[in-house]
Every structure is written in structure tokens, then in C-alpha cells.
Structure 1
Amino acid sequence: MRLLKNRLFIFIFLGLILRLSLIFLDFSFDVNNHMAWGKDMWLRGLSNFYDLRSSEVYASAYPNYPPLANYLFFACYLLRLVIFKLAWWLNIAFPIFPSKLILFIDSRVFEAACFKLPAILADLGIAGVVYLFAKKLAPKNNWAKKLAVLSVLFHPTFFYNSAYWGQIDAIPLFFVLVASYLLLFSSRYFTSAMFFIAAILVKPTALVFVLPYSVYFLWKFGWIKSVRAFLLAQAVFILSFLPYISNQNVIFYPYIAYLKKIMEAQSLAYITNNAFNFWMIVAPPANIKDLVISPLGISYKAIGYILFGIVGALAIHYMLIAKDKITVFIFANFFVAYGAVIFLTRMHERYWLLCLPFLLLFTLQNRHLWKWWIIISFISFLNLYHGWSVPRIEPLVFVLVNRYFVLLVSIVNTSIFIYLFVQYLMENWRPKVSDRLFFN
């Protein structure tokens, strides 16, 4: 066990080195938003923050990330400021200090690197939480524990998204995983609820996990503790918005701002934002607004909610009737995350990250699923590179921009989801079936 822990430390250290080697190479456009909002909070404060235009022209017109994400951006801006001031002092105090380093620290690339650090730490945290899960799910299988950690640390979708792009999707995912671990394997229901609300306060993507988390929480802890945790979570939610409030209603403004200023403003209002999903099949190249009325007489957005609602309801139903609720809870989270990206509108290619850890955890108990983990991982990275082709590899880009290739991958991806979900339903509906894909 001690040897395994030492190797775990080495793996995490190597994962960190890999990510640090990428942070100065490039960054995506969204990082400009993060840098602008961090600076705006430093210069203008937080009062009416969501109603003031961003100070930098290449950023989004208005801030559209939840409070906790903004606080992280503020901390990153301060970190970069402290590093610059320290370097400036060293440059003046010690003539031997390389002056060109000051120019680098003052560059946009260095500032962007500072803003990548929280997501990089979240990546490492996800690997650590996956290890804790593995100790519970496969306590005697050291090979599975090591493979689980390595599958996060050196998975291109993870390090490309956090260390290269500079996206923060790993942060709410880390909080959701911690909340789920505490929910499943401890009685610390308040702490679990705090981690889950923290995830929501970083990015709305965490909301896809609300249904399985809430239902399992209620089943395990009962109504009284669930209501207590809910009220505490709402108090934290409201308190996180207090610095942003000027003359608005303290109780209602946080919810209105989260819905109007954040959820409705974060993504372009198309049926898909580059995700290889069901909507790429319906209307390639997916340039239809999701509020447009479909041939069915309702908006595409409503259709997405209905399909996702069906997936969520069925996954939860079979989670409740299953004997091994821990295992099925993990798979239910995989399906709601996978189903969200397949069927909900406005989905980005980055959101495949949400389902990967839960599928990985389930494969620890069933090696038959490793092939699906590999296939879905490969598709997720292809989709990621399709969305941001840096560094540009011309032969690969030539293939990825072909609309028929995108259509084919989207069909394959949607078919995989349908196949796995149908298998999941059948095996829970007929628990005595001997030839099982999942629960054998």
C-alpha cells in the first residue's frame, strides 16, 4: 500500500509537469474573458458586476460566470500581480536578475498561464478523488487503482482542456466528484452538499448531476437532513452573490442573476455548439437557433429538455430499485451527463469531460466496459480538437472539417449512447439475465 501511495504521488507529479509544460504554448479565447473579469473586479469592485460591460473589447460584453468562478479569476489576477511586483523588485534590487524575464511576466501568455492554474489543480484533484473511489470500489485491485489515476492524469481530453485551452470545466467536475464520494461513503451530508453547491457556483454544467445527487441524498439521509442541507446550500448560494448586489432584492437577485445573467448568457443559442451529438445529425452543420419551432410544433430546446428528462427519469427510477445503489448511482451520473451532451441544446465539445470520470469509475468493476471508455474518450478528444485545432495538424483538420465525417461521428456517438442506455435499462428491468454487459 505504501508503494502504491508513493507511485500515486509520482503519477500526480508527472501529470503536473505535463500540464505545466503546456500552459505557455497557447490559450483559447475564453481565457481573455477570465483575465478581463479578474482585472475588472480588481479595478471596479463587485457591485453591479453583472450589469457592467467588460473593460476589454475582445471579452464577452458582460460577465456571465457564477460568483465562485469570478473569485477564482480574481485570485489568479492577484497572483499574477504579486509575481510581477516581486519580479520587478528583484530586477531593481539585484542587477544579475534577467530583465527580459520582466517582459515575459508582463505578457498576455504569462497572465493566461496564471489563469489556467485552478483547472490544472482540479485535474490533479479529480485524479486523487478517482483513486479514493477506486479504493472503495476495487479495494484489492491495485492495478485498477493505478490505471484509474493514470486514465485521468494522462487523458488528452483532460490536460488539453485545462492546461492548453485554459477552460475551467474540470473545477465543477472535481467538486461534484468530491460531493458524490462524501455522499456515498460517509455521513458528512453538510460537507457533501457544500461541495455540490460549490460546483454550481463555478459553472452551470454541474446542474446536470442535480437529479441523481438529490434523489440519492434524500434516499440515504431522509427528509429532515435533506431539508437542512438544502437550506444551508441556498444560504451559501445567496451569500456568494451578496458582494454583487447594489440595490437589488437580496433574496431574489441571486436566482434571477444566475438564470438570466449566467445560464442564458453563457452559450450561443444554437441547437449545438460544436458537440458531436444528436443535433448534428438532425441539422448539420447545426446552425439553427434552439428557440426556433421544430416540425413537431415545439422548439428544439424543448425537445432537448424532453429527451434529457426521459433519460434522467429512467436512470433515476432504476437507481432506486437497484440493490447495489452505489454502483448504479455512478452509472446514473454517467448517463445523465452523457445524455445531456447528446440531447440538450447549446452543448459544447468540452462537456464530454463531464461523463468520463463516472464511466471510468464503473469500468473498475467491469472490464467489459473498457472498450467503451476508450471509444468515448477518443471521440471526446476528436471533438475537442475539432473545436479548437491547435496545434494545427493539416491532415487531421482536413478530415475533421468534413461535414460527412462530423455527421458519421455524431451518428456513432448517439448510437453508442442509445445502445449503452438500452442495455442499462434491460439489465435492471430483467435482473436475472445471466449474460450481462454491465452488472455481471
Structure 2
Amino acid sequence: MLSFFQPNRSVSVRRYGLLGFILLAAFIMRLILAPMWIGYDTDVGTFLAWSDRAYTVGLPALYTDAQHYFLDYPPGYMYVLYAIGFLHHAFGIPWESPISLLILKMPAMLADVGLAYAVYRLTWQVRGGQHAEPLALAGLMALNPAMWVNSAMWGQVDSFFMLFILMTLFQQQRGKLPQASVWLALAILLKPQALLFGPFLLIDVLRRRDWMLFC
């Protein structure tokens, strides 16, 4: 994983400076927008309630009263919400205040930037550092309205679990199917929609015809 995210030293400082400017501008835009809108109030309110409950009762007891408390997410993202609940309680942050909304949306906003950088790296590996496509695609990803509206304004967390899906596909591309299965399992623990990407891994396993891969 580290080799995927570490910059290549042959890339010019100017090119990485421009990439950094694009990613920083995209992140600052999200920082400005996030506190201004609650977003999809049903989900945002639910996430905040889960954050409070995760910190108040603790992660081990979070699912013990499932019959009387609505909680339909798998446990993976509860760790993130626990940290959000901790920040609220530790610093006395009012729920649904602008700073509260900013904290809640921060993981997805950071994931947006991470996805844009990952697109840059993947494109750079295919096209090389002398082409404009890596920067162009990273910019389109970082500034895509569908991305920043979903995370910074609407308060959804899709980009967070998509980082794990991206790592799954990256490990498949490298032929490391056991590692890919671990990343996919983590993605499923974050959001069950990750199951939709399971068939891609299964196809690779069937194509290899080597069940000892996972032994």
C-alpha cells in the first residue's frame, strides 16, 4: 500500500506543486461549504446520534440493544463515529453546530482528496509523468460537483469506503488476491454496498483456478 501512495522522485517539483495546489483548493472549498449546510438531515442526524451513543455506551455495547435502538450500519464506521463523539464530548461541541457538521463530514472530505490523489498516481503509472492526463483527471476528481456535494454538503460517507474499494482493485491489479480480499472485507465492514464489488474479486479467483491462494 505504501508504494502506491509514495510519490515518485522522478516527478518534477513543479508538477507536484500544481497537484498540491489543486488538492488544497478542493479541500478548502469543502471546508467552507461543510458548515453551511446540514445536508441530508435524516442521515446527518442519525450519524450524530450514533456518534453520541458510540462514545456514551462504548463500542462493545453499541449493538446490545439493537431491538430498541435503530442501528443498521456494520461496525466498521462506528469506530470513526466514536472518534467524532469523543471530540464532541471532550470539547463540549454543540451537536449540529457548524463545527459539529465540519467534524462529521471531515472523514469523507479527506477521503475525497485521497481518491483524487489515488487517481493521479494510477494515471501516472499508466501514462507517465510527461503527460497532462494525471493532473487533469486528479483535478476533475477533486473538483467534481458530484464528489463535494455528496461529502461536504449532503453529509454522505461514500468516498470513505470507496478508498478501501480502490485499494481492493489496486491489489487485484497487482495479482495479490488475498490482500485484495482483506481490503474488500474492510470495505464491507464500513458499508454493505461494498458487496457489489465482490464479483470482480470472485472472477479473478475463478480465473486463477488456484484455491490455495487463500490457504
Equivalent residue number for residue 223 of structure 1 = 211
Distance in 1 (CA, whole Å) between partners of 2:24 and 2:86 is 25
Distance 1:44 1:74 in 2: 10
CA–CA distance in structure 2, aligned partners of residues 165 and 141 of structure 1: 37
Match of 1:40 in 2: 53
Q: Is the 8 A contact 2:205 2:211 kept in 1?
A: no
Tell me how far 1:158 sits from its aligned partner.
0.4
> % of aligned pairs identical?
25
Matching residue within 197, 201, 207 for 2:195:
207
**In the alignment, which residue of structure 2 is the partner of 1:13?**
24
Task: Determine if the alignment matches structure 1 residue 73 to structure 2 residue 81.
Answer: yes
Residue-by-residue CA offset, 1:55-110 (whole Å, 9 max, x unaligned): 9xxxxx5111111111111111113333x26xxxxxxxxxxxxxxxxxxx435222
- Which runs of 5 or more residues in structure 1 are unaligned? 56-60, 86-104, 229-440
Q: 1:179 aligns with which of 145, 161, 168?
A: 168
Indicate the structure whose relative CO is greater, using CA pairs within 8 Å and at least 6 residues apart.
2
- Alpha-carbon shift at residue 122 of structure 1 (Å): 1.1
TM-score w.r.t. the length of structure 1 is 0.43
Query: Aligned partners of 1:126 and 1:142: how far apart in 2?
Result: 20
Question: Match for residue 157 of structure 1?
Answer: 146
Separation in structure 1 between the aligned mates of residue 103 and residue 209 of structure 2, nearest angstrom: 40
In structure 2, the CA distance between the partners of 1:224 and 1:150, relative to structure 1 (3 Å rule), is same
**Aligned equivalents of 2:71 and 2:178: distance in 1?**
30
Shift of 1:141: 5.6
Distance of 1:191 and 1:14 partners within structure 2: 33
Match runs of 1:235-246 below 5 Å: none
Alpha-carbon deviation of 1:190? Answer: 4.0
Q: Deviations over 1:222-251 (max 9, x none)?
A: 3211x34xxxxxxxxxxxxxxxxxxxxxxx
1:35, 1:67 → 2: CA distance?
15
Cα distance change of structure 1 residues 74 and 221 upon mapping to structure 2, 3 Å threshold: farther
Provide the rounded CA distance (Å) in 2 between the counterparts of 1:191 and 1:64. Answer: 27
CA distance in 1, matches of 2:209, 2:183: 17
**Residues 164 and 6 (structure 1), Cα distance of their counterparts in 2 relative to 1, 3 Å cut:** same
Secondary structure in structure 2 of the residue aligned to 1:50: coil
Q: Which residue of 2 aligns with 1:123?
A: 112
Task: Name the CA shift for 1:140/1:108 in 2 (closer, same or farther; >3 Å).
Answer: closer
On the 8 A contact 2:44/2:155 being kept in 1, the answer is yes
Report the CA distance between 1:217 and its aligned residue. Answer: 4.4
Q: How far 1:10 sits from its partner (Å)?
A: 1.5
* Max Rg structure: 1
More helix as a share of residues: 2
- After superposition, the CA RMSD in angstroms is 2.3
Q: Aligned AA for 2:163?
A: F
Q: Offset of 1:139 from its aligned partner?
A: 2.3
Q: Secondary structure at the match of 1:23?
A: helix
**Equivalent pairs, count:** 201
Q: Deviations over 1:350-393 (max 9, x none)?
A: xxxxxxxxxxxxxxxxxxxxxxxxxxxxxxxxxxxxxxxxxxxx
User: What amino acid maps onto 2:25 in structure 1?
Assistant: L
Counterparts of 1:15 and 1:141, CA distance in 2:
24
2:44 is matched by which residue type in structure 1?
V
What CA distance in whole angstroms lies between the structure 2 residues aligned with 1:21 and 1:220? 48
Query: So what's the TM-score if we normalise by structure 2?
Result: 0.83
